[in-house]
Amino acid sequence: MTLEKGDSHVYSQLKPEFSRIYRYNEATDVVKSGDANHLRSLSLKAEGGKLTAMFDGSESLVAVVSLPVYSRDIFVPQP
């Protein structure tokens, strides 16, 4: 499992003096990728509209990543 923290400071295009700070914490767990395989079973069925063209049965599973934890706090700095 990998833990990550980060933040971004975003400014308004219409009012450049207005901004927000986004701070996040997330955990990711690589369930299947290369030699790592923690899956017991997996099935995927997609049908209808554009999904039918994308999932025609020729695809292969590359990786499965779980995001069990994601939290975000939003701060508005005082002028």
Residues with Cβ within 8 Å of 11's Cβ and at least 6 positions away in sequence, in order, are 18, 19
Q: Which helix (H) or strand (E) holds 76?
A: none
Q: Is 50 helix (H, G, I), strand (E, B) or coil?
A: helix
* 75 token code pair: 């701060």
**CA atoms of 19 and 39, how far apart (whole Å):** 43
| Residue ranges covered by each domain of the chain | 2-75
Check residue 10 and give its pLDDT: 94
Check residue 25 and give its pLDDT: 93
For Cα atoms 5, 11, 15, give the angle at the middle one, nearest 5 degrees: 160
Q: Flag whether the pTM goes above 0.85.
A: no
One pLDDT digit (tens) per residue for the chain, 79 residues: 788 899 999 999 999 999 999 999 988 888 887 777 877 788 877 788 888 888 877 887 788 888 888 899 998 988 6
